[in-house]
Structure 1
Amino acid sequence: MNRSATKAVNGGATMVEPLYVPVLPMRRGPLAAYSRLAPFLQAAVSPLWTIPLRTNPAGPPGPPGAVVAAQRATPAWVDARHLEGAPRAVTEGLWPYLLHTPLRPVTGPGRPDWQQSGCADFARACGNGLGLRVRAADASTEQGAEEVRRLVERLAGWDLARDLPVDLLLDLEAVTEEDHQADKCALRALELLGPLTRWRSIVLLAGSFPPTTPEPSGWGPIEAQRHDWDVWHMVRHARPELPVDVTYGDYGAHHAFAADAGAGGGAPWGVLRYTTDRTFLLAKAPTIGDGHAEEVREIARRMIAEPEFRGAGFSEGDRWLHACATGTGTPGVGNAESWIRAGHSQHLAYAAWRLSA
Protein backbone atom coordinates (compact mmCIF):
# COMPACT_ATOMS: atom_id res chain seq x y z
CA MET A 1 0.00 0.00 0.00
CA ASN A 2 1.55 3.28 -1.08
CA ARG A 3 0.36 5.92 1.37
CA SER A 4 2.38 8.85 0.05
CA ALA A 5 0.19 11.78 -0.90
CA THR A 6 0.69 15.34 -2.05
CA LYS A 7 -1.28 18.09 -0.37
CA ALA A 8 -1.27 21.89 -0.28
CA VAL A 9 0.23 23.80 2.62
CA ASN A 10 1.03 27.43 3.27
CA GLY A 11 -1.40 28.76 0.70
CA GLY A 12 -0.52 26.55 -2.21
CA ALA A 13 2.95 25.05 -1.68
CA THR A 14 2.91 21.28 -1.97
CA MET A 15 4.52 18.63 0.14
CA VAL A 16 4.57 14.86 0.24
CA GLU A 17 3.38 13.23 3.43
CA PRO A 18 6.13 11.06 4.93
CA LEU A 19 6.01 7.31 4.44
CA TYR A 20 8.77 6.39 6.87
CA VAL A 21 10.51 8.45 9.57
CA PRO A 22 13.67 6.93 11.08
CA VAL A 23 15.24 8.73 14.05
CA LEU A 24 18.94 8.93 13.16
CA PRO A 25 21.89 10.52 14.97
CA MET A 26 23.63 13.13 12.83
CA ARG A 27 26.79 11.06 12.43
CA ARG A 28 28.80 9.87 9.44
CA GLY A 29 27.46 6.32 9.38
CA PRO A 30 23.73 7.11 9.29
CA LEU A 31 24.34 10.04 6.92
CA ALA A 32 26.21 7.79 4.49
CA ALA A 33 23.56 5.08 4.75
CA TYR A 34 20.76 7.52 3.96
CA SER A 35 22.54 9.46 1.22
CA ARG A 36 23.38 6.24 -0.68
CA LEU A 37 19.86 4.84 -0.77
CA ALA A 38 18.40 4.25 -4.21
CA PRO A 39 16.59 7.47 -5.23
CA PHE A 40 13.12 5.91 -5.26
CA LEU A 41 13.67 4.60 -1.71
CA GLN A 42 15.28 7.79 -0.45
CA ALA A 43 12.22 9.72 -1.61
CA ALA A 44 10.09 7.65 0.81
CA VAL A 45 12.32 8.33 3.83
CA SER A 46 12.02 11.52 5.91
CA PRO A 47 14.51 11.20 8.79
CA LEU A 48 14.34 12.88 12.16
CA TRP A 49 17.99 13.85 12.46
CA THR A 50 19.08 14.21 16.08
CA ILE A 51 22.29 16.06 16.88
CA PRO A 52 23.96 13.69 19.35
CA LEU A 53 25.30 14.46 22.78
CA ARG A 54 28.74 16.08 22.56
CA THR A 55 31.48 17.02 24.97
CA ASN A 56 31.46 20.63 23.73
CA PRO A 57 27.85 21.72 23.08
CA ALA A 58 28.91 25.29 22.28
CA GLY A 59 31.06 24.15 19.35
CA PRO A 60 29.93 23.56 15.75
CA PRO A 61 26.92 21.18 15.77
CA GLY A 62 28.28 18.35 13.68
CA PRO A 63 27.77 18.16 9.90
CA PRO A 64 24.52 20.09 9.16
CA GLY A 65 25.84 20.87 5.70
CA ALA A 66 26.08 17.14 5.01
CA VAL A 67 22.46 16.68 6.09
CA VAL A 68 21.36 19.52 3.81
CA ALA A 69 23.23 17.94 0.90
CA ALA A 70 21.79 14.50 1.63
CA GLN A 71 18.20 15.69 1.93
CA ARG A 72 18.08 17.62 -1.34
CA ALA A 73 14.32 18.17 -1.71
CA THR A 74 13.02 15.53 0.72
CA PRO A 75 11.36 16.87 3.90
CA ALA A 76 12.99 15.93 7.20
CA TRP A 77 13.42 17.26 10.74
CA VAL A 78 16.44 18.32 12.80
CA ASP A 79 16.30 18.02 16.60
CA ALA A 80 19.00 19.93 18.50
CA ARG A 81 17.80 19.08 22.01
CA HIS A 82 21.34 18.27 23.18
CA LEU A 83 22.46 21.80 22.25
CA GLU A 84 19.75 23.70 24.10
CA GLY A 85 22.15 24.66 26.89
CA ALA A 86 24.13 26.63 24.28
CA PRO A 87 21.59 28.77 22.38
CA ARG A 88 24.11 30.33 19.97
CA ALA A 89 25.14 26.88 18.77
CA VAL A 90 21.53 26.47 17.60
CA THR A 91 20.61 29.96 16.42
CA GLU A 92 23.96 30.72 14.74
CA GLY A 93 25.54 27.31 14.20
CA LEU A 94 22.54 25.30 13.00
CA TRP A 95 19.50 27.26 11.88
CA PRO A 96 21.28 29.25 9.14
CA TYR A 97 22.07 25.92 7.45
CA LEU A 98 18.36 25.08 7.33
CA LEU A 99 17.36 28.20 5.39
CA HIS A 100 16.06 27.46 1.88
CA THR A 101 15.97 23.71 2.58
CA PRO A 102 13.13 21.26 3.29
CA LEU A 103 14.50 20.66 6.80
CA ARG A 104 12.23 21.51 9.73
CA PRO A 105 13.28 22.40 13.29
CA VAL A 106 11.91 20.47 16.25
CA THR A 107 10.60 21.66 19.59
CA GLY A 108 8.51 20.10 22.33
CA PRO A 109 7.13 20.44 25.85
CA GLY A 110 9.65 21.09 28.60
CA ARG A 111 12.15 22.82 26.33
CA PRO A 112 13.50 26.32 27.05
CA ASP A 113 11.22 29.24 26.21
CA TRP A 114 13.81 30.71 23.83
CA GLN A 115 13.91 27.43 21.93
CA GLN A 116 10.14 27.07 21.61
CA SER A 117 9.49 30.64 20.46
CA GLY A 118 12.63 30.85 18.32
CA CYS A 119 11.89 27.51 16.70
CA ALA A 120 8.37 28.64 15.79
CA ASP A 121 9.56 31.97 14.39
CA PHE A 122 12.32 30.34 12.38
CA ALA A 123 9.99 27.65 11.06
CA ARG A 124 7.46 30.24 9.95
CA ALA A 125 10.13 32.33 8.26
CA CYS A 126 11.35 29.28 6.34
CA GLY A 127 7.82 28.20 5.43
CA ASN A 128 8.40 24.53 6.24
CA GLY A 129 6.61 24.28 9.56
CA LEU A 130 8.06 22.41 12.52
CA GLY A 131 7.98 19.13 14.39
CA LEU A 132 6.57 18.78 17.90
CA ARG A 133 8.38 15.86 19.56
CA VAL A 134 6.45 14.48 22.50
CA ARG A 135 7.19 11.50 24.77
CA ALA A 136 4.20 9.18 24.56
CA ALA A 137 4.65 8.17 28.20
CA ASP A 138 4.12 11.80 29.22
CA ALA A 139 1.38 12.61 26.72
CA SER A 140 -0.70 9.60 27.77
CA THR A 141 -1.43 11.35 31.09
CA GLU A 142 -3.83 14.25 31.59
CA GLN A 143 -1.04 16.41 33.00
CA GLY A 144 1.33 15.68 30.13
CA ALA A 145 -1.34 16.26 27.51
CA GLU A 146 -2.23 19.57 29.15
CA GLU A 147 1.40 20.68 28.82
CA VAL A 148 1.28 19.87 25.11
CA ARG A 149 -2.02 21.74 24.77
CA ARG A 150 -0.49 24.85 26.33
CA LEU A 151 2.46 24.67 23.97
CA VAL A 152 0.18 24.29 20.95
CA GLU A 153 -1.76 27.35 22.09
CA ARG A 154 1.48 29.30 22.53
CA LEU A 155 2.54 28.36 19.00
CA ALA A 156 -0.81 29.54 17.65
CA GLY A 157 -0.62 32.74 19.70
CA TRP A 158 2.71 34.00 18.39
CA ASP A 159 1.99 36.30 15.46
CA LEU A 160 4.76 34.87 13.29
CA ALA A 161 3.55 31.34 13.98
CA ARG A 162 -0.09 31.68 12.96
CA ASP A 163 -1.25 28.84 10.67
CA LEU A 164 2.13 27.18 11.16
CA PRO A 165 2.09 23.57 9.88
CA VAL A 166 2.96 21.31 12.82
CA ASP A 167 3.92 17.61 12.73
CA LEU A 168 3.26 15.50 15.81
CA LEU A 169 6.29 13.28 16.49
CA LEU A 170 4.93 10.94 19.16
CA ASP A 171 7.88 9.09 20.66
CA LEU A 172 7.50 5.76 22.45
CA GLU A 173 11.32 5.58 22.70
CA ALA A 174 12.56 2.05 23.50
CA VAL A 175 10.04 -0.78 23.04
CA THR A 176 12.12 -3.89 23.62
CA GLU A 177 10.13 -5.98 26.11
CA GLU A 178 7.54 -8.59 25.14
CA ASP A 179 4.92 -7.18 27.55
CA HIS A 180 5.57 -3.57 26.52
CA GLN A 181 1.98 -2.19 26.51
CA ALA A 182 3.26 0.45 24.09
CA ASP A 183 0.18 0.26 21.88
CA LYS A 184 -2.07 1.21 24.80
CA CYS A 185 0.23 4.11 25.70
CA ALA A 186 0.24 5.37 22.11
CA LEU A 187 -3.54 5.07 21.75
CA ARG A 188 -4.15 7.00 24.96
CA ALA A 189 -1.72 9.72 23.88
CA LEU A 190 -3.40 10.01 20.48
CA GLU A 191 -6.80 10.19 22.15
CA LEU A 192 -5.60 13.20 24.15
CA LEU A 193 -3.42 14.91 21.55
CA GLY A 194 -5.31 14.20 18.33
CA PRO A 195 -7.99 16.89 18.85
CA LEU A 196 -5.57 19.64 19.95
CA THR A 197 -4.89 21.01 16.48
CA ARG A 198 -4.98 20.11 12.81
CA TRP A 199 -1.73 18.20 12.67
CA ARG A 200 -0.02 18.19 9.29
CA SER A 201 1.23 14.67 9.99
CA ILE A 202 1.32 12.26 12.92
CA VAL A 203 4.39 10.04 13.29
CA LEU A 204 4.64 7.19 15.78
CA LEU A 205 8.29 6.66 16.76
CA ALA A 206 9.55 3.57 18.58
CA GLY A 207 12.82 1.65 18.78
CA SER A 208 13.06 -2.11 19.24
CA PHE A 209 16.76 -2.59 18.56
CA PRO A 210 18.18 -4.02 21.82
CA PRO A 211 20.36 -1.71 23.92
CA THR A 212 22.77 -4.49 24.87
CA THR A 213 24.84 -6.69 22.59
CA PRO A 214 24.36 -10.43 22.21
CA GLU A 215 26.80 -12.73 23.97
CA PRO A 216 29.22 -14.33 23.37
CA SER A 217 31.26 -12.86 20.55
CA GLY A 218 31.25 -14.92 17.37
CA TRP A 219 28.02 -16.74 18.19
CA GLY A 220 24.72 -16.20 16.43
CA PRO A 221 22.95 -14.57 14.81
CA ILE A 222 20.24 -14.30 17.42
CA GLU A 223 16.81 -12.74 16.89
CA ALA A 224 15.29 -9.66 18.54
CA GLN A 225 11.64 -8.90 17.89
CA ARG A 226 10.67 -5.72 16.05
CA HIS A 227 7.94 -4.73 18.48
CA ASP A 228 7.80 -1.23 16.97
CA TRP A 229 6.48 -2.68 13.70
CA ASP A 230 3.73 -4.57 15.52
CA VAL A 231 2.77 -1.54 17.65
CA TRP A 232 2.41 0.68 14.59
CA HIS A 233 0.09 -1.82 12.90
CA MET A 234 -2.03 -2.17 16.04
CA VAL A 235 -2.34 1.59 16.48
CA ARG A 236 -3.28 2.22 12.85
CA HIS A 237 -5.90 -0.52 13.01
CA ALA A 238 -7.36 0.82 16.26
CA ARG A 239 -7.51 4.51 15.24
CA PRO A 240 -8.71 4.65 11.61
CA GLU A 241 -10.71 7.82 12.36
CA LEU A 242 -7.67 10.09 12.76
CA PRO A 243 -7.68 12.88 10.13
CA VAL A 244 -4.23 11.87 8.86
CA ASP A 245 -2.54 8.48 8.65
CA VAL A 246 -0.24 7.52 11.50
CA THR A 247 3.19 7.30 9.88
CA TYR A 248 5.64 4.58 10.88
CA GLY A 249 8.86 5.69 12.56
CA ASP A 250 11.70 3.80 14.21
CA TYR A 251 15.32 4.26 15.26
CA GLY A 252 16.89 2.53 12.29
CA ALA A 253 19.20 -0.36 13.06
CA HIS A 254 20.36 1.09 16.38
CA HIS A 255 18.93 1.37 19.88
CA ALA A 256 16.66 4.25 20.81
CA PHE A 257 19.23 6.12 22.89
CA ALA A 258 22.10 6.10 20.39
CA ALA A 259 22.05 9.91 20.11
CA ASP A 260 22.02 10.35 23.90
CA ALA A 261 25.56 9.02 24.35
CA GLY A 262 28.94 9.99 22.95
CA ALA A 263 30.22 8.40 19.78
CA GLY A 264 32.36 6.05 21.82
CA GLY A 265 34.83 4.02 19.83
CA GLY A 266 37.73 1.78 20.68
CA ALA A 267 35.70 -1.23 21.85
CA PRO A 268 37.21 -4.57 20.77
CA TRP A 269 33.88 -5.71 19.34
CA GLY A 270 30.84 -4.52 17.39
CA VAL A 271 27.55 -5.93 16.15
CA LEU A 272 26.64 -7.19 12.70
CA ARG A 273 22.92 -6.68 12.13
CA TYR A 274 20.25 -7.52 9.60
CA THR A 275 16.55 -6.67 9.43
CA THR A 276 13.78 -9.13 8.57
CA ASP A 277 10.04 -8.59 8.44
CA ARG A 278 9.53 -9.14 12.19
CA THR A 279 13.01 -9.37 13.72
CA PHE A 280 16.56 -8.09 13.87
CA LEU A 281 19.32 -10.66 13.35
CA LEU A 282 22.27 -9.78 15.58
CA ALA A 283 25.75 -11.16 16.13
CA LYS A 284 28.58 -9.76 18.25
CA ALA A 285 31.86 -9.72 16.35
CA PRO A 286 35.47 -8.86 17.26
CA THR A 287 37.18 -5.83 15.75
CA ILE A 288 40.73 -6.79 16.75
CA GLY A 289 42.78 -9.87 17.53
CA ASP A 290 44.34 -12.77 15.67
CA GLY A 291 41.86 -14.35 13.31
CA HIS A 292 39.17 -11.74 13.91
CA ALA A 293 38.67 -11.10 10.17
CA GLU A 294 37.83 -14.73 9.46
CA GLU A 295 35.50 -14.79 12.46
CA VAL A 296 33.65 -11.75 11.09
CA ARG A 297 33.42 -13.36 7.65
CA GLU A 298 32.00 -16.53 9.18
CA ILE A 299 29.31 -14.51 10.95
CA ALA A 300 28.50 -12.74 7.67
CA ARG A 301 28.28 -16.12 5.91
CA ARG A 302 25.76 -17.32 8.47
CA MET A 303 23.72 -14.16 7.97
CA ILE A 304 23.53 -14.37 4.19
CA ALA A 305 22.58 -18.04 4.54
CA GLU A 306 19.42 -16.99 6.37
CA PRO A 307 16.30 -17.39 4.20
CA GLU A 308 15.40 -13.72 4.81
CA PHE A 309 18.58 -12.42 3.13
CA ARG A 310 17.41 -10.28 0.22
CA GLY A 311 20.46 -10.59 -2.01
CA ALA A 312 23.50 -8.44 -2.69
CA GLY A 313 21.62 -6.20 -5.10
CA PHE A 314 18.96 -5.01 -2.68
CA SER A 315 20.94 -2.24 -0.95
CA GLU A 316 24.47 -1.11 -0.23
CA GLY A 317 24.22 -2.77 3.19
CA ASP A 318 23.21 -6.10 1.63
CA ARG A 319 26.02 -5.74 -0.90
CA TRP A 320 28.56 -5.09 1.87
CA LEU A 321 27.38 -8.08 3.92
CA HIS A 322 27.59 -10.40 0.91
CA ALA A 323 31.05 -9.11 -0.03
CA CYS A 324 32.25 -9.54 3.55
CA ALA A 325 30.94 -13.10 3.62
CA THR A 326 32.47 -14.10 0.31
CA GLY A 327 35.70 -12.10 0.54
CA THR A 328 34.97 -10.31 -2.74
CA GLY A 329 34.90 -6.74 -1.43
CA THR A 330 37.62 -4.38 -0.33
CA PRO A 331 40.38 -5.81 1.87
CA GLY A 332 39.46 -6.19 5.50
CA VAL A 333 36.10 -6.63 7.19
CA GLY A 334 35.44 -3.11 8.42
CA ASN A 335 34.92 -2.01 12.00
CA ALA A 336 32.07 -1.27 14.39
CA GLU A 337 31.25 2.04 12.66
CA SER A 338 31.12 0.53 9.18
CA TRP A 339 28.92 -2.30 10.50
CA ILE A 340 26.48 0.28 11.87
CA ARG A 341 26.50 2.06 8.50
CA ALA A 342 25.81 -1.20 6.64
CA GLY A 343 23.11 -2.08 9.16
CA HIS A 344 21.36 1.26 8.71
CA SER A 345 21.68 0.98 4.93
CA GLN A 346 19.91 -2.36 4.62
CA HIS A 347 17.35 -1.44 7.29
CA LEU A 348 16.35 1.91 5.76
CA ALA A 349 16.09 0.33 2.32
CA TYR A 350 13.98 -2.56 3.57
CA ALA A 351 11.62 -0.44 5.69
CA ALA A 352 11.11 2.06 2.85
CA TRP A 353 10.52 -0.76 0.37
CA ARG A 354 7.96 -2.48 2.63
CA LEU A 355 6.06 0.75 3.27
CA SER A 356 6.10 1.74 -0.41
CA ALA A 357 4.77 -1.61 -1.63
Structure 2
Amino acid sequence: MVEPIYVPVLPTTRSARSAYAQLDLTVRRRIAPLWTLDPRVGPERPRGRRAFPAPDTDAAELGRRLAARVGPLVEVMGGLPGWVDAAHVECHVGAWASSLWRLTTGSTLRLVTGPERDREHQRHAADLAFMSGRGLGIRVLVDDLPEAQ
Protein backbone atom coordinates (compact mmCIF):
# COMPACT_ATOMS: atom_id res chain seq x y z
CA MET A 1 0.00 0.00 0.00
CA VAL A 2 1.25 3.46 -0.85
CA GLU A 3 1.30 5.60 2.28
CA PRO A 4 -1.66 7.96 2.20
CA ILE A 5 -0.95 11.66 2.03
CA TYR A 6 -4.17 12.40 3.88
CA VAL A 7 -6.57 10.56 6.18
CA PRO A 8 -9.91 12.37 6.19
CA VAL A 9 -12.34 11.46 8.97
CA LEU A 10 -15.73 10.96 7.32
CA PRO A 11 -19.13 9.84 8.59
CA THR A 12 -20.76 6.90 6.81
CA THR A 13 -23.54 9.12 5.49
CA ARG A 14 -24.81 9.22 1.91
CA SER A 15 -23.49 12.76 1.42
CA ALA A 16 -19.98 11.88 2.62
CA ARG A 17 -19.88 8.77 0.42
CA SER A 18 -21.06 10.85 -2.53
CA ALA A 19 -18.41 13.52 -1.92
CA TYR A 20 -15.71 10.84 -1.71
CA ALA A 21 -16.96 9.19 -4.92
CA GLN A 22 -16.71 12.52 -6.76
CA LEU A 23 -13.01 12.86 -6.03
CA ASP A 24 -10.73 12.08 -8.93
CA LEU A 25 -9.43 8.51 -8.81
CA THR A 26 -5.81 9.69 -8.56
CA VAL A 27 -6.76 11.60 -5.39
CA ARG A 28 -8.71 8.66 -3.94
CA ARG A 29 -5.68 6.44 -4.48
CA ARG A 30 -3.54 8.75 -2.31
CA ILE A 31 -5.90 9.12 0.65
CA ALA A 32 -7.21 6.54 3.13
CA PRO A 33 -10.43 7.69 4.79
CA LEU A 34 -11.30 6.87 8.37
CA TRP A 35 -15.04 6.23 8.12
CA THR A 36 -16.95 6.59 11.37
CA LEU A 37 -20.26 4.89 12.01
CA ASP A 38 -22.36 7.64 13.50
CA PRO A 39 -24.86 6.77 16.23
CA ARG A 40 -28.38 5.80 15.13
CA VAL A 41 -29.89 7.58 18.14
CA GLY A 42 -28.53 10.22 20.46
CA PRO A 43 -25.52 12.46 20.07
CA GLU A 44 -22.04 11.30 19.14
CA ARG A 45 -20.25 10.54 22.36
CA PRO A 46 -16.94 12.19 23.22
CA ARG A 47 -13.88 10.25 22.09
CA GLY A 48 -12.22 8.18 24.77
CA ARG A 49 -15.42 7.45 26.71
CA ARG A 50 -17.78 4.50 26.77
CA ALA A 51 -21.49 5.02 26.53
CA PHE A 52 -23.19 3.42 29.55
CA PRO A 53 -25.95 2.57 29.27
CA ALA A 54 -26.02 2.06 25.53
CA PRO A 55 -28.19 4.82 24.04
CA ASP A 56 -29.41 2.55 21.22
CA THR A 57 -31.61 -0.19 22.66
CA ASP A 58 -33.03 -1.54 19.38
CA ALA A 59 -30.42 -4.05 18.22
CA ALA A 60 -32.54 -5.25 15.28
CA GLU A 61 -32.95 -1.75 13.85
CA LEU A 62 -29.26 -1.03 14.44
CA GLY A 63 -28.38 -4.20 12.53
CA ARG A 64 -30.57 -3.16 9.58
CA ARG A 65 -29.00 0.31 9.56
CA LEU A 66 -25.47 -1.10 9.60
CA ALA A 67 -26.25 -3.55 6.80
CA ALA A 68 -27.63 -0.67 4.74
CA ARG A 69 -24.43 1.37 5.25
CA VAL A 70 -21.81 -1.35 4.80
CA GLY A 71 -22.75 -2.29 1.23
CA PRO A 72 -22.58 1.26 -0.17
CA LEU A 73 -19.37 1.92 1.77
CA VAL A 74 -17.65 -1.15 0.33
CA GLU A 75 -18.88 -0.14 -3.12
CA VAL A 76 -17.69 3.47 -2.96
CA MET A 77 -14.26 2.41 -1.72
CA GLY A 78 -13.83 0.18 -4.77
CA GLY A 79 -10.97 -1.82 -3.29
CA LEU A 80 -9.02 1.21 -2.07
CA PRO A 81 -7.61 1.28 1.48
CA GLY A 82 -9.23 2.93 4.46
CA TRP A 83 -10.43 2.35 8.00
CA VAL A 84 -13.82 1.99 9.69
CA ASP A 85 -14.43 3.02 13.29
CA ALA A 86 -17.53 1.35 14.71
CA ALA A 87 -17.40 3.20 18.03
CA HIS A 88 -21.15 3.65 18.45
CA VAL A 89 -22.24 0.07 17.91
CA GLU A 90 -20.05 -1.97 20.24
CA CYS A 91 -22.78 -2.67 22.81
CA HIS A 92 -24.82 -4.83 20.40
CA VAL A 93 -22.65 -7.72 19.24
CA GLY A 94 -25.45 -9.42 17.31
CA ALA A 95 -26.21 -6.23 15.42
CA TRP A 96 -22.68 -5.49 14.23
CA ALA A 97 -21.00 -8.88 13.95
CA SER A 98 -22.31 -9.83 10.50
CA SER A 99 -21.88 -6.31 9.07
CA LEU A 100 -18.28 -6.02 10.25
CA TRP A 101 -17.57 -9.55 8.98
CA ARG A 102 -18.84 -8.49 5.55
CA LEU A 103 -16.84 -5.29 5.73
CA THR A 104 -13.53 -6.99 6.50
CA THR A 105 -13.96 -10.02 4.24
CA GLY A 106 -15.50 -8.17 1.30
CA SER A 107 -13.31 -5.08 1.12
CA THR A 108 -9.85 -3.71 1.82
CA LEU A 109 -11.10 -1.63 4.74
CA ARG A 110 -9.53 -2.15 8.16
CA LEU A 111 -11.37 -1.98 11.45
CA VAL A 112 -10.47 0.46 14.20
CA THR A 113 -10.83 -0.06 17.92
CA GLY A 114 -9.47 1.61 21.01
CA PRO A 115 -8.56 0.97 24.64
CA GLU A 116 -11.83 2.45 25.92
CA ARG A 117 -13.96 0.15 23.74
CA ASP A 118 -15.87 -2.83 25.07
CA ARG A 119 -13.50 -5.80 25.41
CA GLU A 120 -15.71 -8.01 23.26
CA HIS A 121 -15.62 -5.38 20.52
CA GLN A 122 -11.81 -5.20 20.78
CA ARG A 123 -11.48 -9.00 20.53
CA HIS A 124 -13.89 -9.26 17.61
CA ALA A 125 -12.13 -6.45 15.73
CA ALA A 126 -8.73 -8.07 16.38
CA ASP A 127 -9.98 -11.48 15.22
CA LEU A 128 -11.42 -10.00 12.02
CA ALA A 129 -8.20 -8.10 11.41
CA PHE A 130 -6.18 -11.28 11.83
CA MET A 131 -8.44 -13.24 9.48
CA SER A 132 -8.37 -10.51 6.83
CA GLY A 133 -4.58 -10.20 7.03
CA ARG A 134 -4.78 -6.41 6.77
CA GLY A 135 -4.25 -5.35 10.35
CA LEU A 136 -6.13 -3.26 12.86
CA GLY A 137 -6.24 0.44 13.58
CA ILE A 138 -5.98 1.61 17.19
CA ARG A 139 -7.52 4.98 17.95
CA VAL A 140 -6.19 6.56 21.11
CA LEU A 141 -7.11 9.82 22.70
CA VAL A 142 -4.05 11.96 23.18
CA ASP A 143 -4.11 14.34 26.13
CA ASP A 144 -2.50 17.74 25.82
CA LEU A 145 0.54 17.77 23.60
CA PRO A 146 3.83 18.44 25.45
CA GLU A 147 4.23 21.87 23.86
CA ALA A 148 0.72 22.87 25.05
CA GLN A 149 1.60 22.33 28.73
Same fold (TM over 0.5): yes
C-alpha distance in structure 1 between counterparts of 2:123 and 2:147, whole Å: 32
Q: How far off its partner does 1:183 sit?
A: 7.2
The DSSP-based 3-state class of the residue aligned with 2:134 is coil
The DSSP-based 3-state class of the residue aligned with 1:16 is coil
Deviations, residues 209-248 of structure 1 (Å, cap 9, x unaligned): xxxxxxxxxxxxxxxxxxxxxxxxxxxxxxxxxxxxxxxx
1:50 aligns with 2:36: yes
The 5 A counterparts of 1:8-157 are 15-55=1-41, 56=56, 58=59, 59=62, 60=64, 61=66, 62-137=68-143
C-alpha distance in structure 1 between counterparts of 2:82 and 2:92, whole Å: 23
Q: How far off its partner does 1:112 sit?
A: 1.0
Equivalence for 2:50:
none
C-alpha distance in structure 2 between counterparts of 1:129 and 1:97, whole Å: 13
The DSSP-based 3-state class of the residue aligned with 1:21 is coil
The share of aligned pairs that are identical, in percent, is 38
Unpaired runs of 5+ in structure 2? Answer: 42-55
C-alpha distance in structure 2 between counterparts of 1:94 and 1:127, whole Å: 15
Q: How far off its partner does 1:74 sit?
A: 1.4
Higher-strand-fraction structure: 1
Q: For residue 78 of structure 1, what is the amino acid of its counterpart?
A: V
1:184 aligns with 2:147: yes
Unpaired runs of 5+ in structure 1? Answer: 1-14, 141-181, 189-357
Q: For residue 3 of structure 2, what is the amino acid of its counterpart?
A: E
C-alpha distance in structure 1 between counterparts of 2:114 and 2:130, whole Å: 16
Are the structure 2 counterparts of residues 110 and 33 from structure 1 closer, same or farther at C-alpha, using a change threshold of 3 Å? same
Q: For residue 104 of structure 1, what is the amino acid of its counterpart?
A: R
Q: For residue 184 of structure 1, what is the amino acid of its counterpart?
A: E
The DSSP-based 3-state class of the residue aligned with 2:32 is coil
C-alpha distance in structure 1 between counterparts of 2:89 and 2:5, whole Å: 28
Contact 1:100/1:126 (8 A) holds in 2: no
Larger Rg: 1
Are the structure 2 counterparts of residues 110 and 93 from structure 1 closer, same or farther at C-alpha, using a change threshold of 3 Å? same
Q: What is the CA RMSD across the aligned residues, in angstroms?
A: 1.9
Count of paired positions: 129
Q: For residue 115 of structure 2, what is the amino acid of its counterpart?
A: P
C-alpha distance in structure 1 between counterparts of 2:91 and 2:127, whole Å: 19
C-alpha distance in structure 2 between counterparts of 1:23 and 1:47, whole Å: 6
C-alpha distance in structure 2 between counterparts of 1:89 and 1:35, whole Å: 27
C-alpha distance in structure 1 between counterparts of 2:39 and 2:106, whole Å: 26
Are the structure 2 counterparts of residues 183 and 46 from structure 1 closer, same or farther at C-alpha, using a change threshold of 3 Å? farther
C-alpha distance in structure 1 between counterparts of 2:94 and 2:34, whole Å: 21
C-alpha distance in structure 2 between counterparts of 1:64 and 1:132, whole Å: 20
C-alpha distance in structure 2 between counterparts of 1:125 and 1:20, whole Å: 27
Q: How far off its partner does 1:95 sit?
A: 2.5
Contact 1:104/1:129 (8 A) holds in 2: yes
Are the structure 2 counterparts of residues 69 and 121 from structure 1 closer, same or farther at C-alpha, using a change threshold of 3 Å? same
Are the structure 2 counterparts of residues 183 and 95 from structure 1 closer, same or farther at C-alpha, using a change threshold of 3 Å? farther
C-alpha distance in structure 1 between counterparts of 2:89 and 2:116, whole Å: 14
The 5 A counterparts of 1:288-307 are none
C-alpha distance in structure 2 between counterparts of 1:100 and 1:93, whole Å: 10
Contact 1:83/1:90 (8 A) holds in 2: yes
C-alpha distance in structure 1 between counterparts of 2:94 and 2:76, whole Å: 24
